[in-house]
Amino acid sequence: MKNYQGRTAVITGAGSGFGLEVARIAAARGMNLVLCDVQSDALDKAAAEFEGRVPVLARKVDVAKAAEMEALAAAVKARFGAPHVVFNNAGVGSGGLIWENTLADWEWVLGVNLMGVVHGVRLFTPMMLEAAAADPGYEGHIVNTASMAGMLNAPNMGVYNVSKHAVVSLSETLHQDLALVTEQIRASVLCPFFVPTGISQSHRNRPADAPAAKPTKSQLIGQAMSDKAVSSGKLTAAEVAAMVFAAMDEERFYVFSHPHALAGVQTRLEDVMLLRNPTDPFKDRPEIGAKLKAALREG
Which residues have a catalytic role annotated? Answer: 160
Helix then strand count (H, E) for the chain reads: 10, 7
User: What span, in angstroms and rounded, lies between the C-alpha atoms of 91 and 96?
Assistant: 17
Q: Is 230 helix (H, G, I), strand (E, B) or coil?
A: helix
| CA dihedral over 70, 73, 77, 81, signed as positive or negative | negative
166 in helix, strand or coil? helix
Rounded to the nearest angstrom, the gap between the alpha carbon of residue 265 and the centroid of all alpha carbons in its chain is 19
Chain centroid to Cα 1, Å, comes to: 20
CA 218 to CA 88: how far, in whole Å?
A: 30
Residue 201 · residue 94 · CB < 8 Å: no
Can you say whether residue 155 is alpha, beta or left, with left for phi > 0 and alpha for psi between -120 and 50 degrees?
beta
Distance in angstroms (rounded) separating the CA atoms of residues 94 and 219: 8
